[in-house]
Structure 1
Amino acid sequence: MSIALPFLALILATAFAAYHRLRLAVWAALAGSLLVACGLLGASPTATLVAAAMLLLVAVPVLIPAIRKPLLTAPVLRVLRKALPPLSQTERIALETGSVGFEGDLFNGKPDWHKLLAYPKPQLTPEEQAFLDGPVEELCKRINDWEITHVHADLPPELWDFLKQNKFFGMIIPKEYGGLGFSALAHHKVIQKIASISSVVSATVGVPNSLGPGELIHRYGTQEQKDYYLPRLAAGIEVPCFGLTGPFAGSDATSIPDYGIVCKGQWNGANVLGVKLTFDKRYITLAPVATLIGLAFRMYDPDGLLGDTKDIGITLALLPRDTPGVDIGRRHFPLNSPFQNGPIHGREVFIPLSQLIGGVAMAGKGWNMLNECLAVGRSITLPSTASGGAKAGAVVTGAYARIRKQFGLSVGRFEGVEEALARIGGRAYVISALSQATAAAVDRGDVPSVPSAIAKYHCTTAAREVSKDVMDIIGGKGIVLGPRNFAGRGWQAAPIAITVEGANIMTRSLLIFGQGSILCHPYILKEMRAAQDPDSRAGLQALDGVLYAHIGNAISNAVRSLWFGLTGARLQTGLPGDAYTRKFFRKLNRYAANLALLTDVSLGALGGRLKFKESLSGRLGDVLSHLYMMAAVLKRHHDEGCPDADKPLLAWAFHNSVYEIESALSQALRNFPIRPLGWLLWPLVFPWGRRAVAPGDRLSRRVANLLMNPNEARDRLAAGAFLTPGDNNPGGRINSYLAQAIAAEPVERKFLKALKSGQITALEFPAQVEEAVRLGVITADERAQLEALRAITLDTIMVDDFDSAELRAACAPAPHPGTTRAVA
């Protein structure tokens, strides 16, 4: 024991210092003090001297800069210069334009939960709330989604006029230019409410307020462009679209083949310097009705009219629809969700340089501009659309499952349906929290590149799963389209959100972790910049400032991962929350340390090869995503006063995410590209093996009951969805029947008991209730309850039918013009 004691003391000091992230000098002093104590306690002098030598061997070179820089830092810098691959233009710009919020704490491995909970609670202004309660509510009452999707394949003219008159297209445009000047939170709330009744209308409103000319002009336009275009966009005089995607450029937008050549040409009767554009775009929302087109293209100056640079780069321009040579193509038809969408083409279309967004000064900076706006758009429009659909789907399906009876029992009482209802409720709860959190990040001034990717991917993916479970529960009600169907169009539209603004497969496997591991990591980006600094002395100085902090952080995460795994993350202090939520924060600390550890090991072992290991990147991205989602959920729960009624939803969401985190970590380790390294990491991450389990049956039953009974948690979950009952809102009608149906259930049970026993012999319902009153089984008032229950049940379960002629197209399709035109 006397021999082992000094080494145990050294290990203990190192583990303690690493866990608490003490400075290196503090660690050295602590370890030295323990070794002195060991000597005084009679430990082996030889062992004590060996342990002291080991301490000095590490501490002296690292603590003394004159030794550290030439002996340690310089060789590392040389290795990094050779090992790090050059960043592509897409990657470099993405890293330059993003900002980092709480997600950076997750990569650090030691999240500051107090900082998260200290963020201001997201709240609407009185003006924004009035707009939501007034024009938005009125818009939703006017929407007839069946007529839009089946009869007109478009919004009716009066709805277009209502949107323009009430400045729905100008929500993000500042008031000084005639817009509403709303916050990102208000934008989120408006899109969420509209999406709960019609995805077509939400897309129509969402696009001008996300990635479009309005935001680009506001952020980057010249003063002349702002003064002219923003008031026209706010008033709906101009309807905008933005042309980015083309047949040969999807996820890698910097590779777009559309080009513009700097030259002189005629504009409004004058010979001016401008750009001659050739482009071929598709999937452009609002293109068929747009009057103002934003366009991304690659700008070239072969004759040096602007300077020495020939390939200026991605540039953005504004094209009025009537610009000679602009060809607005025929409409696309996106999965029976016919929002205005189509191709735009042009060949040698001349515009002056004044039509470049931001003028000549912003030429070549288009991808930077787009990347910021894409982050904001992904943060709001698509997550908010998913949230509106999920909220409405959760409460309406819960009501349907209570009202709809099979074998004399509400279908929601069957365990298989309970499982599906729990998934719907839990996912809707997460989607709602996540979509609000990303909008709040935008309002705090962030450009949330990584959170926006998380929100876009997980909100739209979870919403698709919600839609699937809704369709499974309501059965024929969902598959027979018509005015009574509240779910069919949502099911058809679900893949659209999965696809647009970056396909979800690419977002998961390339963007979330790929961008996050560099942008959000506390040291990696600084080290990359140091390694790529052409000034060797400056690079050495910069690397020396972060390298050893990074090493210490990595050791800390290894120690914390092991300790949290061994103790079940129980022995922690200083955490926020109450007795119920504190255990959640403890567990998240463990998984944050796991993520940080695997990030450092993956980057260190694989280097530039990591970006090609998409399966590993996707799994680590899943860990990051679920950590961030649970942070959003806990933040929302805290902001709402930690209501007890919401605990089943919170618990289901948390246990589901923890199960997904452990699954992703397990798969990452079992399939780690360097297999022995994966084996070595396993005991640091799972010293007792995987312990997390998916939400259990009892918890699922509690969540299902929340959806099938009126209660405050259900009301909070539904908040923000349009549930006003009316002829245009079958989901709202079904939801409004829930309390009435529950009140009639005792009478229904008495009636069914008498019916099954043979006491009532009539064969049809009107005669049966008449006989029940005559026999004294029910009273006259109870008969009225049963008749009302019968009526609302019929409205809940009935589907539509049509004459064959009603389902035929109003006109035969025109001959197809042929294959997509090619641009030379």
Structure 2
Amino acid sequence: MIELNDDQRALCDGVSAVCKRFDDEYWAECEREARFPHEFHKAMAADGWLGVTMPEEYGGAGLGVTEAALVMHTVASHGGAMAATSSIHINMFGPHPIVVHGTPEQKARWVPRLVAGEDQVCFGITEPNAGLDTTSITTFAKKVEGGYRVSGRKIWTSTAKVANKILLLTRTTAKADAKRPTDGITIFYTDLDRTRFEVQRIPKHGRAAVDSNMVFIDDVFIPEEDRVGEEGKGFTYLLDSLNPERVLIAVEAIGIGQDALGRAARYARERNVFGRPIGQNQGIQHPLAERWIALEAAWLMAMKAATLYDTGRPCGAEANSAKFLGARAGYDACLQAVMTHGGMGYAKEYQVERLLREVLVTRLAPVSEQLILSFIAEKVLGQPKSY
């Protein structure tokens, strides 16, 4: 998909209209105060954008990853960067295990509240000693009467300071006792009661407006009705949302990069040194032009991956490639924007230093560049598995 249809253009215009109500000063203030952008989240919910991919019978629009990508790209390109995207990102495909594997009663109970913005959910997946090796998580859910008692640790759990729900990945069978490493993993969607879950904020390089946290879980009871799908099948359920997440991260990075590139191009036209605009110098023009080319190429790969996913075709290589290319292109564009501004690029006034700090995380998460390259080498080029 390259050319947007009328409905998709209307979607982008509608999201853009919301984003334009929140200017640079709003996002700078959220960062200074390390304050979650509640007003933005509420505005997106009020206009129905949190339910783009949710089923229509539960108040959503029932659209695909292509439309979710268009929403997130539009949000990213309007100055809010990762603070804006991260405030709503998990709504796009994070709850997909609920939609696909939840019971009708669970979906009726949970999904409409997510669509309306009445509930906010965080994703409890990563652990301090497991990292990207998800099968090595040790957070354990022990079966007891009426439910499970859960203990463990999670790290990099975004929005756990403001969320009231958590999608929690646990083990119900120890890895050593499972037939396969991917067996024995169970997902829960439950209340995040901060009197029972201890949440400690992690100070970060960027995206101060959206909290990242350590979560300590010590003998917390979770009722059986909060388990998603079958016990022990959670890893396969998690796979439902991995490729869409890679596409969304890619387009978010691309949007931030395009925002930064636009600011740099404008500054290059307006800034005069030695009696001429600095943009007249090829030393300024050429790096900016290269960044535009890279961003456009990454966008095409992201849209290819989204189209493959929405038409039910394999897209693992394309989704991972989009994430790799998008994050690199976005980061390089933001860095060049700072360099184009010179000394003022290092100042907060022009915002590009904030965009650079925020886009960096897309190169680190949710999957590293090195693991993507290993995946492509193995799955596409037929090389022996290296990890």
Flag whether TM exceeds 0.5 (same fold).
yes
Question: Contact 1:262/1:300 (CA < 8 Å) preserved in 2?
Answer: no
Distance 1:475 1:430 in 2: 27
- Partner residue of 1:734? none
Query: Could you tell me how far 1:474 is from its partner in structure 2?
Result: 1.2
Distance 2:187 2:3 in 1: 33
Question: Contact 2:243/2:315 (CA < 8 Å) preserved in 1?
Answer: yes
Number of matched residues? 377
Q: Return the match for 2:360 from 495, 515, 518.
A: 495
Please tell me whether residue 348 in structure 1 is matched to residue 213 in structure 2.
no
Partner SS for 2:73: helix
- Partner residue of 1:148? 30
- Partner residue of 2:171? 298
- Partner residue of 2:192? 321
AA matched with 1:437: K
- Partner residue of 1:571? none
What TM-score, normalized by structure 1, do the two folds share? 0.44
Distance 2:136 2:9 in 1: 42
Partner SS for 1:280: strand
Please tell me whether residue 474 in structure 1 is matched to residue 341 in structure 2.
yes
Distance 2:61 2:287 in 1: 40
Query: Could you tell me how far 1:442 is from its partner in structure 2?
Result: 2.2
Query: Could you tell me how far 1:279 is from its partner in structure 2?
Result: 1.7
What TM-score, normalized by structure 2, do the two folds share? 0.90
Please tell me whether residue 411 in structure 1 is matched to residue 278 in structure 2.
yes
Distance 2:216 2:5 in 1: 41
* Residues 743-771 of structure 1: per-residue CA shift (max 9 Å, x gap): xxxxxxxxxxxxxxxxxxxxxxxxxxxxx
Query: Could you tell me how far 1:378 is from its partner in structure 2?
Result: 0.6
AA matched with 1:515: K
Partner SS for 2:380: helix
Distance 2:327 2:103 in 1: 35
* Residues 297-325 of structure 1: per-residue CA shift (max 9 Å, x gap): 11139xxxxxx99x961111112123873
- Partner residue of 2:12? 132
Bigger share in strand: 2
AA matched with 1:367: F
AA matched with 2:271: R
- Partner residue of 2:332? 465
Distance 2:3 2:102 in 1: 29
* Residues 568-587 of structure 1: per-residue CA shift (max 9 Å, x gap): xxxxxxxxxxxxxxxxxxxx
- Cα root mean square deviation, aligned: 2.4
- Partner residue of 1:377? 245
Query: Could you tell me how far 1:498 is from its partner in structure 2?
Result: 1.0
AA matched with 1:435: A
Question: Contact 1:172/1:179 (CA < 8 Å) preserved in 2?
Answer: yes
Please tell me whether residue 333 in structure 1 is matched to residue 198 in structure 2.
no
AA matched with 1:137: A
Q: Cα 1:170–1:343, aligned 2, differ >3 Å: closer, same or farther? A: farther
Q: Return the match for 2:351 from 477, 486, 495.
A: 486
Query: Could you tell me how far 1:377 is from its partner in structure 2?
Result: 0.9
Q: Percent identity?
A: 23
Q: How does 1:24-35 map to 2 (within 5 A)?
A: none
- Partner residue of 2:377? 513
Distance 2:37 2:334 in 1: 27
Query: Could you tell me how far 1:182 is from its partner in structure 2?
Result: 2.8
Q: Return the match for 1:279 from 143, 152, 177.
A: 152
- Partner residue of 2:117? 236
Q: Return the match for 2:86 from 182, 203, 212.
A: 203
Distance 2:41 2:66 in 1: 24
Q: Cα 1:163–1:341, aligned 2, differ >3 Å: closer, same or farther? A: farther
Please tell me whether residue 165 in structure 1 is matched to residue 46 in structure 2.
yes
Q: Larger C-alpha radius of gyration, 1 or 2?
A: 1
- Partner residue of 1:289? 162
Question: Contact 1:420/1:473 (CA < 8 Å) preserved in 2?
Answer: no
Q: Return the match for 2:257 from 390, 399, 403.
A: 390
Q: Cα 1:124–1:235, aligned 2, differ >3 Å: closer, same or farther? A: farther
Query: Could you tell me how far 1:124 is from its partner in structure 2?
Result: 4.2
Partner SS for 2:21: helix
Bigger share in helix: 1
Question: Contact 1:184/1:439 (CA < 8 Å) preserved in 2?
Answer: yes
Question: Contact 2:41/2:117 (CA < 8 Å) preserved in 1?
Answer: no
Query: Could you tell me how far 1:348 is from its partner in structure 2?
Result: 1.5
Distance 2:57 2:206 in 1: 39
Distance 2:37 2:167 in 1: 25
* Residues 763-800 of structure 1: per-residue CA shift (max 9 Å, x gap): xxxxxxxxxxxxxxxxxxxxxxxxxxxxxxxxxxxxxx
Distance 2:257 2:28 in 1: 19
* Residues 685-738 of structure 1: per-residue CA shift (max 9 Å, x gap): xxxxxxxxxxxxxxxxxxxxxxxxxxxxxxxxxxxxxxxxxxxxxxxxxxxxxx
Question: Contact 2:206/2:358 (CA < 8 Å) preserved in 1?
Answer: yes
Distance 1:209 1:474 in 2: 34
Distance 1:516 1:165 in 2: 43
Partner SS for 1:295: strand
Distance 2:266 2:14 in 1: 27
Distance 2:202 2:41 in 1: 20
Question: Contact 1:256/1:298 (CA < 8 Å) preserved in 2?
Answer: yes
- Partner residue of 1:719? none
Structure 1: gaps of 5 or more residues: 1-119, 265-271, 302-307, 518-598, 604-609, 615-824
- Partner residue of 1:4? none
- Partner residue of 2:228? 357
Query: Could you tell me how far 1:501 is from its partner in structure 2?
Result: 0.8
- Partner residue of 2:129? 248
* Residues 498-553 of structure 1: per-residue CA shift (max 9 Å, x gap): 11111222222x22222334xxxxxxxxxxxxxxxxxxxxxxxxxxxxxxxxxxxx
- Partner residue of 1:581? none
Distance 2:170 2:249 in 1: 25
- Partner residue of 1:181? 62
* Residues 424-460 of structure 1: per-residue CA shift (max 9 Å, x gap): 2211221222222222222222352221111111210
Question: Contact 1:208/1:241 (CA < 8 Å) preserved in 2?
Answer: no
- Partner residue of 1:191? 72
- Partner residue of 1:611? 385
Partner SS for 1:611: coil
Q: Cα 1:500–1:325, aligned 2, differ >3 Å: closer, same or farther? A: same
Question: Contact 2:124/2:168 (CA < 8 Å) preserved in 1?
Answer: yes
Question: Contact 1:295/1:316 (CA < 8 Å) preserved in 2?
Answer: yes
Question: Contact 2:141/2:172 (CA < 8 Å) preserved in 1?
Answer: yes
Distance 1:472 1:262 in 2: 56
Distance 1:156 1:367 in 2: 32
Distance 2:2 2:332 in 1: 29
Question: Contact 1:241/1:290 (CA < 8 Å) preserved in 2?
Answer: yes
Query: Could you tell me how far 1:122 is from its partner in structure 2?
Result: 5.5
Distance 2:116 2:232 in 1: 30
Q: Cα 1:315–1:286, aligned 2, differ >3 Å: closer, same or farther? A: same
